Chains A and B, each alone.
Chain A
Amino acid sequence: MTLVRSELLKIRTTSTWWIFGLISLALWALTLFFNWLQTEALAGGDFGEVPADQSDQLQAVSAADNLAANLYTNGQFFGLLIVLLLGIVVVTSEFFHQTVTTTFLTAPHRSAVMLAKLVAAGVLALLFWLVTTVLNLVTAPLILNSVDVGSQLGSGAIWRAIALNGLAYLLWSVLGVGLGVLIRSQIGATVTGILFYLGGAIGAVIVLSLLASRYGDWINKLQLLVPSLASGLMVGGDTDIPGNPPQWAGALVLIGYAVVAGAIGVATIRKRDIS
């Protein structure tokens, strides 16, 4: 517990957290704008000519629940990236600023230090989630009402989407800590993290759909194994979108990644020479 307090104090006593906070606030506003446009378009229900097999999907996406869930978890796309980077920085800044020696002199039990870092990064991530969610709870009803969908706050599915969003923030910060241990270089880990996240989302979709068109549709199911897509799936609305694997599968995959990343991180740092 003293170690967690120390880790939180480390975060509080540098400017990293509020710089990240400001960036995520700006990105939150940006995504809010696009989600608002999207909501208006989908709620208008005017999609023009759409092939038959895609119209089912559109139907599902534009269901009130999904529209609302999307708005109540607004900011998630970049928010998860931010907490991933925060998790990375919690570890790599120790190597970058050469404070890791002092840290391990103070607490020679390295797994305890790493657990404290995981907890501290998680606490910070949940704080980011909390602030974002409060903002969303203010803005989403305004947008939903403006397109005559209603706030949907009575729906259990919405609250579940919000909670799962929190879980996603937590898990991505854990992934960040694990990644930070594996790639000690601050810049290296940050770049890898961004590629891992964005590349995971965009690159994997492209690669997988190319493969799918050659080897058959089942390949699309592999999307589940891409962390960012799994997390997107996990926090999707209640109405299962046809053709996509179920929500809980996304959650399981992401938890699996987080546990593996955290465990590898702890195991690695235990044995490493600090010189």
Chain B
Amino acid sequence: MMSDGQPRPSAGTGQITVSGLTKQYKNVRAVDNLSFTVEPGRVTGFLGPNGAGKTTTLRMLLNLVTPSAGTATVGGSRYADLPDPLRTVGAVLEASSAHKGRTGINHLRVICAAAGLPKERADEALALVGLSPAAKRKFKGYSLGMKQRLGIAAAMLGNPQVLILDEPANGLDPEGIRWMRGFLKGLAAEGRTVLVSSHLLSEMQLLADDVVIIAAGKLIRQGPVDQVMASMTHGVRVRVRTPQADDLAAVLREQAATVDADPNGALLVSGVDAPTVGRVALAAKVELHELTTERPDLEGVFLELTAGKAEIR
């Protein structure tokens, strides 16, 4: 594995608990009575359209923004009460950067000095994210991918039990995203808590074990990815391919199914499940070339769940 051994047990369980969290800005209720939990050993996707309140929630969890109401804790403690925050929680946030004129390695050393970590940790963390060759280059010369890696290196300085990342995939190229995915999955496999926010749902489908979906500051749904998706009965369709499409469509309609043709000549059937389609076809002596159940992807689920609640704000 890329990281350096097991996380410290100091964060207790490393569970993140958000309870009744609310942030009222002048005109916007950015986060509205939000409650959810995030478990260790899994990657949790924190999903919501832009402006849903993801960043505000994470910043409240990290004591950067003061909640109007409610609490957010890591391993049972508020962030400000953690005796050694960097050894417990590592965070990579949006709108967080390094001094343009400082080298990558010095950026990390400054943090080590403030956190009371040995300065060798800076070199180790850079190596961990594969940035050692650029250690002595100034931050302004870094590519977006390198900046993101430096952010992750900073978060890993204290070898924390809990990792929190705000839209880490933003602006990364496919190779960078693939690297990030492997890295975060590896951390979760070591037993760490990994919370990743994103509005890119396709990305989460490949990465997350659990999802927490919010819109307009409110919780929409929380749970394991497959369960959240399976709970979406709406939108499940059976795709079937046959040389006798008209015959099959006719007998299926007798079973009260809805049948549409897709542009490639296949039939899309909803209202009955795949075994039923197979049985009906056999009885009608219709030859089948393909029979598959199609679930909507997370993107579809997400759009459906947040529809109407994600007005631009």
Contacts and interface: CB of A to CB of B under 8 A. Distances in A.
Nearest to A113: B114
Interface in A1-20: 2-3, 5-6, 9-10, 13-16
Interface in B69-103: 79-80, 82, 85-86, 91, 93, 95-103
B113 A273 contact: no
Contacts of B106: 9, 13
Given A13-B102, A97-B97, A6 B114 contact: yes
Given A99-B98, A105-B85, A106-B85, A2 B66 contact: no
A15 B85 CA distance: 30
A163 B79 CA distance: 44
Contacts of B66: 271, 273
A138 interface: no
Contacts of B102: 10, 13-14
A5 B100 CA distance: 20
Given A108-B79, A275-B56, A275-B59, A101 B64 contact: yes
Given A6-B113, A9-B109, A101 B95 contact: yes
A93 B95 CA distance: 14
Nearest to B60: A273
Contacts of A9: 106, 109-110, 113
Given A99-B99, A275-B55, A3 B85 contact: no
B115 interface: yes
Interface string B23-67: 000000000000000000000000000000001100100111110
Which secondary structure dominates where chain A touches chain B? helix
Interface in A247-275: 271, 273-275
A211 to B, nearest CB: 41
Contacts of A99: 96-99
B111 A106 contact: yes
B154 interface: yes
Q: Which of B86, B91, B97, B113 has the most CB of A within 10 A?
A: B113
B65 A273 contact: yes
A108 B96 contact: no
A13 B100 CA distance: 11
B294 to A, nearest CB: 41
A223 B66 CA distance: 42
A10 B101 CA distance: 11
Nearest to B116: A2
A275 to B, nearest CB: 6
A33 interface: no
Contacts of B99: 10, 13-14, 93, 97, 99
A98 B114 contact: no
Given A99-B97, A102-B96, A107 B56 contact: no
B157 to A, nearest CB: 9
A71 to B, nearest CB: 36
A176 B116 CA distance: 27
Q: Which of B65, B82, B102 has the most CB of A within 10 A?
A: B102
Contacts of A15: 101
A10 B115 CA distance: 14
A98 to B, nearest CB: 4
A103 interface: yes
A231 to B, nearest CB: 31
A109 B79 CA distance: 10
A15 B64 CA distance: 29
Contacts of B91: 105
Contact of A106 (B55, B95, B115): B115
A34 interface: no
A103 B65 contact: no
Contacts of B95: 98, 101, 275
Contacts of A10: 99, 102, 110
A105 B62 contact: yes
A101 to B, nearest CB: 4
B63 A108 contact: yes
B155 to A, nearest CB: 9
Contacts of B63: 104, 108
Given A13-B106, A99-B97, A109-B80, A275 B65 contact: yes
Given A9-B113, A273-B64, 8 more contacts: A2-B116, A6-B110, A6-B114, A10-B102, A98-B95, A107-B115, A274-B65, A275-B59
19 contacts: A2-B113, A2-B114, A3-B114, A5-B113, A13-B103, A13-B106, A13-B109, A97-B100, A99-B97, A101-B95, A102-B98, A105-B62, A105-B91, A107-B115, A108-B82, A273-B66, A274-B59, A274-B64, A275-B65
Which 9 A-B residue pairings sit nearest by Cβ, starting from the closest? A6-B114, A6-B113, A98-B97, A101-B96, A13-B106, A274-B64, A108-B80, A273-B65, A97-B99
